[in-house]
């Protein structure tokens, strides 16, 4: 810790150490990776063959004549593509075989092999890694890529405008797909691919024909495996796909056959066909598709989907907006059918008979009449153009949808269960007329509507419970729909939607009423068609229910229809159950709920005669005891329920605590602070602090100060009492030691004084700080980072006066300067005017409370005969200054002046002596000014110049004849007294007035 001393009569000096910060720079290292040729291969630079004539040994040709039976051979090379394409062949029709080569390091910039305008090529047994792409093929025909290894390439192949390509028995690892554009007669067969990124795809902006993708094995990828678009003639057969992305995607294609593939663990559809014609999906096995359909056919025509096995897929077979589609003999387990279309004719063009779902028939009928399904063993019902159909006591669970009714007439769905459907709606009605849905339960349609009806005439929906669906019911562009006595319960997004309908009624008038709505908050206080006959409730809400979705129920029911109302469940959430009197605590009833409605009121009873309402309340008890806090909740049906929690309320007992400063050891007469502000009220509000200091002394404030007059160990006790009369105490022992004696020794300084000083303190003579030199500096103990110190010095001044007024002016000037430097400084010890060393002196102290708080005790003595002053300054940490009071007093009492007053006994004169005297005078003046900045010290009417005094040519020493300084009292050469100047004499230019008051 830096040593801190006082260097002036009112200032502090802090010497800080310097911390050097060293920054260590990191020098980046550049690592060059050198590829080593594969075993048996020879490293060489890139190969460029442009035209048949360029098949030469210089270009890597190792054999052959370029015919079908004896093709050119390029083999045995290890080639880096780091600086450009590794192998480029263009404008050739000679037969060639590129084999047993290793091509690598092209990154995302350069190709491994680039073929342009090439015919009759074969690439076999080669290794491609880290290229982008491995193969770049353009306008090429009759090319075979056989038995090669592709590893970690940005792309395996980019193929454009090419014909007659065969990719077979290749392996693809760790990335790199194949993309084809405007190409035809492409065979991709018997290949194997693993890793995160692989696909065989055609450009969505190009065309192509005759693609055969067969007998390939693909696993552990996360992209669409086979994604073929705009192709005429596609065969995808016998592939085994186990990946995280969609399996087979066909779009905008014709004459498509997807046959006997095995697909599992797809993250999209196992097989997806869109916008295509003449499609066969036959004999495929699809399982464990976790996000999507097993088979999805959309906006396609002339499609056959048959003999497929689908197991444990999120959705089974999805058929949307297709025409002339046949789906027969498919077996689905764990999911079913979802069928949708834009028009009735599209529905009519579908043949979806003879399929099973979970071992039960998928019951699909078209043009049927007079059918009854009563507890029939069916998984789903799909009816088109049927009449006089009765569906009752059926259960449809855990599938995409339960019943789809398309353009049916005179049909009833009665007393059936629809549960946990996963698509657009559990029960769907489109077109048709005279359809009745009654006494059925439709629950938990996860992503859609419980009941969905559009373009239907004379729809009647009565007595159903529609609960926990994403949307309860949607009627869209229907005519004359009547919907009443249904229970719409906790459908979270929207209870019901009425859009574009004509003649829809959401109630049956008065007094039969409308529907029960779990979100209805109205009350039942009145009756009558206008609900204006109050005092006689009728089970109908007093105000209509109007939803933003255009649903208006004029007579909403207060209680569920046909069901017993379920009372709400009351829940109290309390952060704790033990409190103190007046402590404000919170209770939250927001977790209360109602299984068939909404909690509309919260009533609290705190057990002390007070109550509150609302889901979130606060309370404080005024007296101690055990209380039952009871919450009673009421739901929108008027049902109530209560719950209670027992709480204990105690009279708060305060916690007494105090700190002592300074810490042990303490000393006699030391001011000790006892701080009880750390005591805890514990909600009781402390009203009194009582201190017993153990020596007969007492106190009554939060923070008190006390001084012990004798050494010993004392037990200090603080007792606090709160507004309830409860009290608590804390005791703590403090040890008080006598102030230790500080041994002194006699010290004599060459500057002309003798004084007792502490023997153990360090002594520094003529110590200079910022060009100011002190006669003696003493350093003692360190307290809380501040070094106790004494500064002793002297100086000459021919204006000093040995009277109290003069000394008082010094005190006032020092205090003013101290306050200018540190505004909080104050006179902490009044001046004591006394004799010091036989001359006039003053003792006083100034305290600067700024951290660390410092007390400076001054003793100043002035001598008229000597024209000189002396000062002794003690600087100490304010909390420990008392330890040094006796020492300082002894130093002042023993202070002696050893220099004699100037006498005219020596006749010495020389120019050198005069200069020395002048410089000494200047140094003294500068020292005085720096010690006293920003004010001038001492005061008494004189102002000291900051430049050397000018010689007054007409004044000389009467003893030795040496020139004298203008304001000097004694000769600088011999020390004799000088004749005082005339008071009316003008000072030299720039000099202040001189003389004494």
Q: What is the DSSP string of 887-931?
A: HHHHHHHT-EE-SPPP-S------HHHHHHHHHHHHHHHHHHHHH
Q: Is the pLDDT of residue 435 over 90?
A: yes
Q: Is the pLDDT of residue 963 over 80?
A: no
Q: Does domain 110-340 have CATH number 2.160.20.10?
A: yes
Q: Is the pLDDT of residue 960 over 60?
A: no
Confidence of residue 701 (pLDDT cuts 50, 70, 90): very high
pLDDT of residue 261: 97
What are the residues whose beta carbons fall under 8 Å from the beta carbon of 675, sequence distance 6 or more? 658, 659, 660, 661, 702, 703
Confidence of residue 271 (pLDDT cuts 50, 70, 90): very high
pLDDT of residue 997: 31
847 φ, ψ (degrees, to nearest 5): -115, 130
Chain-wide mean pLDDT for the chain?
A: 87
CATH pick for 578-650 out of 3.30.413.10, 3.40.1190.20, 2.60.40.10, 2.40.128.720: 2.60.40.10
**Structural tokens at position 122:** 């074969």
**Structural tokens at position 518:** 């779990």
**Structural tokens at position 452:** 């969905």
Confidence of residue 965 (pLDDT cuts 50, 70, 90): very low
Give per-residue burial for 559-582: e unless 16+ CB within 10 Å, then b: bbbeeebbbbebebeeeeeebbbb
Q: Does domain 659-737 have CATH number 3.20.20.150?
A: no
Strand partners, 522: none
What are the residues whose beta carbons fall under 8 Å from the beta carbon of 491, sequence distance 6 or more? 450, 466, 467, 468, 469, 470, 471, 472
Percent of the chain past pLDDT 90, that is, above it, reads 78
The most confident of the ranges 22-26, 281-285, 809-813, 850-854 is 281-285
pLDDT of residue 268: 83
pLDDT tens-place string over residues 53-99: 999 999 999 999 999 999 999 999 999 999 999 999 999 999 999 99
Q: Is the pLDDT of residue 324 over 50?
A: yes
pLDDT of residue 903: 65
Of 434, 531, 522, give the one whose Cα is nearest residue 478.
Answer: 434
Average pLDDT of 885-894? Answer: 97
pLDDT tens-place string over residues 243-258: 777 899 999 999 999 9
Q: Alpha-carbon distance 364 to 329, whole Å?
A: 13
Q: Is the pLDDT of residue 954 over 70?
A: no
Percent of the chain past pLDDT 70, that is, above it, reads 86
Q: Alpha-carbon distance 326 to 353, whole Å?
A: 8
pLDDT tens-place string over residues 624-675: 999 999 999 999 999 999 999 999 999 888 899 999 998 878 999 999 999 9
Average pLDDT of 387-402? Answer: 97
pLDDT of residue 77: 98
pLDDT tens-place string over residues 912-942: 222 223 222 322 332 232 233 333 223 222 2
Angle CA 314–439–433, to nearest 5:
85
pLDDT tens-place string over residues 34-47: 345 666 899 999 99
The segment(s) of the chain belonging to CATH 3.40.1000.10 are 743-897
pLDDT tens-place string over residues 770-803: 788 999 999 999 999 999 999 999 999 888 999 9
Q: Is the pLDDT of residue 949 over 60?
A: no
pLDDT of residue 548: 86
Q: Alpha-carbon distance 807 to 830, whole Å?
A: 13
pLDDT of residue 39: 67
CA–CA distance from 94 to each of 51, 59, 76, 638 (Å)?
Answer: 9, 15, 20, 93
Task: Specify the DSSP element, H or E, that contains 814.
Answer: helix 804-821
End-to-end CA distance of the chain: 49
For the ranges 26-40, 226-240, 760-774, which has the lowest average pLDDT?
Answer: 26-40
**Structural tokens at position 208:** 């192509």
CA 605 from chain centre, in angstroms, equals 41
pLDDT of residue 486: 98
Average pLDDT of 679-684? Answer: 79
Q: Half-sphere exposure (CA, 13 Å, Cβ side) for 87?
A: 28
**Domain formed by 743-897, architecture:** 3-Layer(aba) Sandwich (3.40)
pLDDT of residue 723: 85
Whole-prediction pTM? 0.67
For tokens 């007046």, the residue is: 582
CA 825 from chain centre, in angstroms, equals 48
Q: Is the pLDDT of residue 424 over 60?
A: yes
Average pLDDT of 378-406? Answer: 98
Confidence of residue 195 (pLDDT cuts 50, 70, 90): confident
The segment(s) of the chain belonging to CATH 2.160.20.10 are 110-340
Average pLDDT of 593-618? Answer: 96
The segment(s) of the chain belonging to CATH 2.60.40.10 are 578-650, 659-737
Q: Is the pLDDT of residue 14 over 50?
A: no
pLDDT of residue 912: 26
Average pLDDT of 589-596? Answer: 96
Q: Alpha-carbon distance 87 to 79, whole Å?
A: 8
Q: Alpha-carbon distance 827 to 502, whole Å?
A: 97
Confidence of residue 48 (pLDDT cuts 50, 70, 90): very high
């Amino acid at each position: 810790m830096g040593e801190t001393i006082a260097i002036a009569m009112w200032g502090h000096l802090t010497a800080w150490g310097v911390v050097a910060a060293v920054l260590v720079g990191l020098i980046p290292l550049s690592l060059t990776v050198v590829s080593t040729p594969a075993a048996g291969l020879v490293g060489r630079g890139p190969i460029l063959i442009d035209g048949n004539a360029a098949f030469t040994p210089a270009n890597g040709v190792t054999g052959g004549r370029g015919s079908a039976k004896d093709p050119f051979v390029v083999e045995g090379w290890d080639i880096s593509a780091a600086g450009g394409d590794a192998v480029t062949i263009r404008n050739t029709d000679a037969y060639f075989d590129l084999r047993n080569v290793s091509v690598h390091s092209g990154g995302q910039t350069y190709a491994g092999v680039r073929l342009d305008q090439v015919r009759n090529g074969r690439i076999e047994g080669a290794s491609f890694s880290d290229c982008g792409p491995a193969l770049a093929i353009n306008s090429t025909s009759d090319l075979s890529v056989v038995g090669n290894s592709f590893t970690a390439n940005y792309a395996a192949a980019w193929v454009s405008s090419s014909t007659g390509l065969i990719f077979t028995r290749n392996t693809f690892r760790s990335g790199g797909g194949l993309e084809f554009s405007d190409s035809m007669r492409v065979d991709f067969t018997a290949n194997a691919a693993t890793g995160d990124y692989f696909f065989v795809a055609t450009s969505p902006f190009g065309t192509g024909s005759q693609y055969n993708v067969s007998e390939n094995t693909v696993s552990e990828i996360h992209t669409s495996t086979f994604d073929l678009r705009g192709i005429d003639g596609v065969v995808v057969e016998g592939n085994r796909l186990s990946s995280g992305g969609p399996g087979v995607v066909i779009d905008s294609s014709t004459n498509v056959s997807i046959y006997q593939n095995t697909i599992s663990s797809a993250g999209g559809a196992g097989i997806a066909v869109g916008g295509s014609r003449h499609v066969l999906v036959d004999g495929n096995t699809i399982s464990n598709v976790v996000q999507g359909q097993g088979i999805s056919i959309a906006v396609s025509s002339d499609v056959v989907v048959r003999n497929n096995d689908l197991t444990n897929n999120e959705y089974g077979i999805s058929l949307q907006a297709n025409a002339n589609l046949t789906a027969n003999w498919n077996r689905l387990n764990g999911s079913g059918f979802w069928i949708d279309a834009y028009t009735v004719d599209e529905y009519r063009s579908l043949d979806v008979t003879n399929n099973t779902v979970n071992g039960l028939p998928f019951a699909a009928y078209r043009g049927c009449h007079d059918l009854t399904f009563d507890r029939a063993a069916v998984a789903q019902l799909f009816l088109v153009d049927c009449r006089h159909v009765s569906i009752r006591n059926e259960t449809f669970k855990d599938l995409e949808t339960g019943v789809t009714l398309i353009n049916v007439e005179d049909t009833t769905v009665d007393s059936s269960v629809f549960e946990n459907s996963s698509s657009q709606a559990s029960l769907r009605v489109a077109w048709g007329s005279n359809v009745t849905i009654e006494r059925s339960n439709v629950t938990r349609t996860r992503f859609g509507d419980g009941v969905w009806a559009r373009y239907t005439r004379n729809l009647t929906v009565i007595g159903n419970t529609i609960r926990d669906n994403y949307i309860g019911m949607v009627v869209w562009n229907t005519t004359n729909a009547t919907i009443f006595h249904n229970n719409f319960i906790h459908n979270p997004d929207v209870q019901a939607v009425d859009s574009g309908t004509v003649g829809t009624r959401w109630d049956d008038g008065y007094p039969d009423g409308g529907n029960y709505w779990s979100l209805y908050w109205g009350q039942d206080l009145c009756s009558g068609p206008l609900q204006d006959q109050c005092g006689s409730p009728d089970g109908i809400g007093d105000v209509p229910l109007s939803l933003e979705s255009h649903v208006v129920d004029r007579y909403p029911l207060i209680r569920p229809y046909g069901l017993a109302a379920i009372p709400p469940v009351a829940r109290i959430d309390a952060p704790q159950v033990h409190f103190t009197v007046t402590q404000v605590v919170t209770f939250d009833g927001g977790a209360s709920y109602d299984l068939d409605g909404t909690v509309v009121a919260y009533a609290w009873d705190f057990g002390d005669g007070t109550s509150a309402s609302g889901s979130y309340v606060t309370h404080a008890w005024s007296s101690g005891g055990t209380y039952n806090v009871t919450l009673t909740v009421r739901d929108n049906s008027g049902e109530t329920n209560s719950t209670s929690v027992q709480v204990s309320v105690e009279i708060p007992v305060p916690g007494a605590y105090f700190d002592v400063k300074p810490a042990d050891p303490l000393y006699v007469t030391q001011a000790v602070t006892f701080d009880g502000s750390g005591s805890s009220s514990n909600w009781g509000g402390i009203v009194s602090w009582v201190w017993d200091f153990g020596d007969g002394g007492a106190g009554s404030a939060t923070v008190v100060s006390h001084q012990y007059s004798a050494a010993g160990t004392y037990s200090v006790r603080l007792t606090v009492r709160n507004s309830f009369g409860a009290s608590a105490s804390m005791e703590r022992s403090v040890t008080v030691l006598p102030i230790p004696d500080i041994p002194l020794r006699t010290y004599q300084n060459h500057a002309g004084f003798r004084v007792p000083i502490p023997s153990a303190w360090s002594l520094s003579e003529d110590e200079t700080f910022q060009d100011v030199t002190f006669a003696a500096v003493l350093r003692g103990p360190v307290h809380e980072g501040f070094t106790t110190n004494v500064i002793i010095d002297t100086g000459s001044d021919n204006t000093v006066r040995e009277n109290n007024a003069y000394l008082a002016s010094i005190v006032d000037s020092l205090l003013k300067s101290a306050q200018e430097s540190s505004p909080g400084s104050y006179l902490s010890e009044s001046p004591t005017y006394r004799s010091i060393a036989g001359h006039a002196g003053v003792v006083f102290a100034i305290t600067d409370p700024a951290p660390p708080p410092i007390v400076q005790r001054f003793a100043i003595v002035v001598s008229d005969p000597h024209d000189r002053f002396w000062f002794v300054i003690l600087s100490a940490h304010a909390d420990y200054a008392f330890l040094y009071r006796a020492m300082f007093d002894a130093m002042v009492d023993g202070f002696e002046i050893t220099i004699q007053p100037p006498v005219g006994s020596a006749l010495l004169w020389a120019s050198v002596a005069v200069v020395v005297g002048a410089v000494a005078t200047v140094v003294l003046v500068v020292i005085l000014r720096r010690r006293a900045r920003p004010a001038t010290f001492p005061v008494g009417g004189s102002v000291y110049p900051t430049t050397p005094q000018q010689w007054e040519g007409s004044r000389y020493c009467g003893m030795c004849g040496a020139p004298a300084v203008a304001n000097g009292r004694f000769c600088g050469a011999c020390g004799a007294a000088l004749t005082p100047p005339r008071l009316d004499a003008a000072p030299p230019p720039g000099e202040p007035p001189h003389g004494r008051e």
